């Protein structure tokens, strides 16, 4: 007979799909269902989950499509035989920075759902605006400029809210919305993030914003633990601060708060237990760090098309080039994040150039030449200690860290006299670029995470305790070796293999912790006791090695000078244009 213990569901409402994942108290995955927006939705003219207005650089999604998807995923789980009566808790992850605008009828409609009808059929009138801006939207440059100048500069905005102004952040999006659609804004009773929108559906009333996800708005004063009155005033415009504060609602500090029981619609239509509890949903990036018991000073590096660096840290040291959020579950911790547009695509361009030079032997091993050349090349390209270090910026796409146009810049740096020269002299192109591009990407991570790590023991410099690699590049052990040499990692470098399920897993684990925690028990403590490390992670490289770590410490100084020089050159060119 199958075990009949409690179950927990984590949802992941991303740009292109909604996923539902069910786990047991022991964190074993027992059901997964996925609703692909392009393939499975009906009646929406979308591509890759969104619609676009290129003339105004807008990217947005129809909210009704998400309603359709939720009934679709729950129907799939029912067809798989999920016994919903065993589900004790529900939480979720939502694509960060998207916003949903509820009408004055929203609460009434949410409370009066008929089990015989779908969510889409019944909630069309629940929204003052039918679309949600997507994180890819870039229509708010003017509003971003206003946010930064309102507090003086990007540095001050980052100090207050954890980030400088970004197109996708919800504060600038709301400012633009109330100006472009003043009548719709006036009719808006509440504003949700995608995460709290998802929680609201299950709750049958508007759920509060999550303590971590609220930090992706440029409105939340992280250190004060409240909305910043100055930024609310800017964002609200003629409608007033009190009105916007009412629309946003309160933000409970406990990420594991029991918001209430699941709405009767889900009890009657799908068989949920009336005692099933709704837990705050969080953003997709915070949910990702919950996919494993990431402890303070552990680092997670996502090596996909783009590169993302996540770290749990007790230190709050914001900078315009980084992001800080409240930790989604653990009071006193912050989530530090770096986002780069250029990652795998840049490495692939170098890989392809090397294959063209050497000839590609086996299509089944596309990285064979790249890895071989990279490992044969000395660290920083230095064949003797007197050779200059080779480093560069390789940006096939415009980058945000640092803020630069697409392009390539190559430099030689002499750590002995600290001279820096933009040149390819001494470079064996494209062969030297295999190591140079990986080193340069990792040096940028080390540069920007400086000061957020600690010394694990006397005589050992500050660095992550462990470095976890996720994404497509995590399978590459040559890249992992260089990552360990540069970033350190006292316990080594590990591959985290949760496939595409990290966000949904993190949300499900959050529900387990919220329901089953003992008084005062942290998320990390509970999950680490139940998490099967052997199932998900594999050590793939050594971490800290004293001599090479110190050598790359010198390289960080040169890398910082290189970035500064390129930024100054580009600014001068723009000034002449």
Cβ density class 375-405: b for 16+ within 10 Å, e for less: eebebbbbeeeeebbbbbbbbeeebbbbebe
| Residue 269 domain flag | yes
Contact 193, 94 (CB under 8 A): yes
Helices (H), 181-289: 182-186, 194-203, 229-236, 241-248, 264-270, 284-289
Enclosing H/E stretch for 72 = helix 63-79
Please give the share of the chain, as a percent, with pLDDT higher than 90: 84
244 occurs within a structural domain: yes
Mean pLDDT, residues 521-543:
92
* Cα three-residue angle 294-300-304, rounded to 5 degrees: 140
What is the CB-side half-sphere exposure of residue 145 using CA atoms within 13 A?
Answer: 5
Last residue in a domain, options 435, 450, 465: 450
Claim to verify: residue 351 and residue 269 sit in the same structural domain:
no
Task: Report the first-to-last Cα separation within the chain, whole angstroms.
Answer: 75
Cβ–Cβ under 8 Å, residues 220 and 251 = yes
Output the DSSP codes for 10-42: EEEE-SSEEEEEEEETT--EEEEEEEEHHHH--
Tell me the average pLDDT across 538-554.
94
DSSP bridge pairs for 410: 392
Q: Which two tokens stand for residue 69?
A: 């998807």
161 shares a domain with 229: yes
* 23 and 133 housed in the same domain: yes
State yes or no: pLDDT of 445 exceeds 60: yes
The residue count of the chain comes to 577
Q: Give residue 577's pLDDT.
A: 64
- The pLDDT score that the predictor gives to residue 3 is 56
User: Which stretch of DSSP H or E encloses residue 151?
Assistant: none
Q: Tell me whether residue 430 is in a domain.
A: yes
Residue-wise DSSP of 504-572 = HHHHHHHHHHHHHPPTT--HHHHHHHH--HHHHEEEEE----HHHHHHHHHHHHHHHHHHHHHHHHHHH
| Domain count of the fold of the chain | 2
> Do 366 and 279 share a structural domain?
no
Q: How far apart are CA 105 and CA 214, in angstroms?
A: 24
User: Mean per-residue pLDDT for 53-65?
Assistant: 96
Q: Report the C-alpha gap between 207 and 547 in whole angstroms.
A: 52
pTM above 0.85, yes or no: yes
pLDDT at 364: 81
Residue 29, domain member (yes or no): yes
In DSSP terms, 313 is beta-bridged to: 334
- Looking at residue 99, what is its pLDDT? 97
Domain presence at residue 186: yes
Q: Is residue 161 part of a domain?
A: yes
Same domain, 280 and 358: no
Residue pLDDT, tens place only, 366-414 = 999 999 999 999 999 888 878 899 999 999 988 988 989 999 999 999 9
Residue 177 resides in a domain: yes
Residue 31 lies in a domain: yes
pLDDT digits (tens, 9 = 90+) for 301-357: 999 888 999 999 999 999 998 999 999 999 999 999 998 989 998 999 999 999 999
Residues whose CB is less than 8 angstroms from the CB of residue 2 and which lie 6 or more positions away in sequence, other chains included: none
Q: Which of 450, 483, 505 is the last residue of a domain?
A: 450
Tell me: the pLDDT tens digits for 244-259?
999 999 999 999 999 9
Asked if residue 2 has pLDDT above 80, the reply is no
What is the average pLDDT value for the chain, to the nearest integer? 94
H/E segment holding residue 180: helix 170-180
- pLDDT for 1: 38
Strand-pairing partners, residue 284, are: none
Residues 54 and 129 in one domain: yes
Residue at a domain's end among 241, 268, 285: 285
Same domain, 13 and 123: yes
Comparing 274 with 1, the larger pLDDT belongs to: 274
CATH code: domain of residue 133:
3.30.420.40
Domain co-membership, 53 together with 200: yes
Q: 238 and 108, same structural domain?
A: yes
Q: Percent of the chain scored above 70 by pLDDT? A: 99
Residues 18 and 167 in one domain: yes
What pLDDT does residue 535 have?
Answer: 85
Residues 61 and 177 both lie in one domain:
yes
Domain that holds residue 418: 344-450
Q: Cα–Cα distance between 390 and 429 in angstroms, integer?
A: 11
Phi-psi region of 97 (alpha: psi -120 to 50; beta: other; left: phi over 0): left
pLDDT on residue 233: 97
Considering the domain architecture, whether residues 275 and 186 belong to the same structural domain is answered as yes
The secondary structure of residue 214, as a DSSP letter, is G
């Amino acid at each position: 007979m199958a075990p009949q213990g409690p179950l927990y569901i984590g949802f992941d409402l991303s740009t292109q799909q909604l996923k539902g994942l069910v786990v047991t108290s022991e964190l074993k995955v027992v059901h997964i269902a996925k609703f692909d927006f392009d393939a499975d939705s009906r009646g929406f003219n979308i591509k890759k989950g969104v619609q676009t207005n290129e003339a105004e650089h807008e990217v947005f999604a129809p909210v009704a499509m998400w309603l359709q998807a939720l009934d679709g995923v729950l129907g799939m789980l029912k067809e798989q035989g999920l016994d919903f009566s065993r589900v004790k808790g529900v939480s979720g992850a939502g694509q960060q920075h998207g916003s949903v605008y509820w009408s004055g009828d929203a609460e009434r409609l949410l409370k009066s759902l008929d089990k015989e009808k779908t969510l889409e059929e019944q909630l069309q009138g629940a929204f003052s605006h039918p679309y949600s801006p997507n994180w890819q939207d870039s229509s708010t440059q003017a509003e971003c400029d206003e946010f930064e100048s309102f507090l003086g500069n990007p540095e001050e905005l980052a100090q207050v809210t954890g980030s400088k102004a970004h197109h996708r952040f919800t504060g600038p999006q709301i400012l633009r919305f109330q100006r472009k659609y003043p009548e719709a804004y006036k009719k808006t009773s509440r504003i949700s993030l995608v995460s709290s929108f998802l929680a609201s559906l299950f709750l049958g009333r508007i759920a509060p914003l999550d303590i971590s996800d609220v930090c992706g708005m440029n409105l939340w004063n992280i250190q004060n633990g409240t909305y910043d009155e100055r930024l609310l005033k800017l964002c609200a415009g003629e409608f007033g601060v009190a009105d916007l504060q009412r629309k946003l609602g309160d933000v409970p500090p406990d990420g594991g708060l029991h918001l209430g029981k699941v709405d009767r619609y889900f009890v009657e239509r799908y068989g949920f237990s009336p005692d099933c509890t709704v837990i705050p949903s969080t953003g997709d990036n915070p949910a990702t760090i919950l996919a494993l018991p990431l402890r303070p000073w552990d680092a997670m590096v996502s090596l996909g098309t783009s590169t993302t660096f996540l770290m749990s840290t007790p230190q709050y040291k914001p900078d315009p080039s980084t992001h800080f959020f409240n930790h989604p579950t653990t009071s006193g911790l912050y989530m530090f994040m770096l986002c780069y547009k250029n990652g795998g695509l840049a490495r692939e361009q170098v890989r392809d150039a090397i294959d063209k030079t050497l000839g590609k032997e086996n299509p089944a091993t596309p990285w064979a030449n790249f890895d071989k050349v990279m490992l044969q090349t000395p660290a920083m390209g230095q064949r003797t200690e007197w050779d200059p270090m080779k480093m560069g910026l390789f940006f096939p796409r415009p980058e945000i860290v640092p803020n630069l146009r697409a392009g390539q810049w190559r430099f030689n740096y002499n750590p002995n006299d600290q001279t820096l020269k933009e040149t390819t002299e001494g470079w064996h192109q494209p062969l030297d670029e295999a190591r140079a591009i990986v080193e340069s990407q990792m040096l940028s991570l080390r540069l920007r995470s400086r000061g957020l790590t600690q010394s694990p023991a006397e005589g050992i410099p500050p660095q992550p305790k462990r470095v976890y690699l996720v994404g497509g590049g995590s399978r590459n052990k040559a890249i992992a070796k260089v990552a360990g040499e540069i970033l350190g990692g006292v316990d080594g470098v590990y591959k985290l293999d949760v496939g595409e399920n990290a966000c949904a897993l993190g949300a499900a684990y959050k529900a387990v912790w919220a329901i089953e925690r003992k008084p005062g028990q942290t998320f990390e403590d509970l999950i680490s006791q139940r998490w099967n490390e052997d199932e998900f992670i594999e050590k793939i490289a050594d971490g800290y090695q004293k001599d090479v770590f110190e050598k790359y410490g010198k390289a960080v100084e040169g890398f910082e000078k290189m970035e500064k020089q390129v930024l100054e050159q580009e600014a001068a060119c723009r000034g002449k244009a």
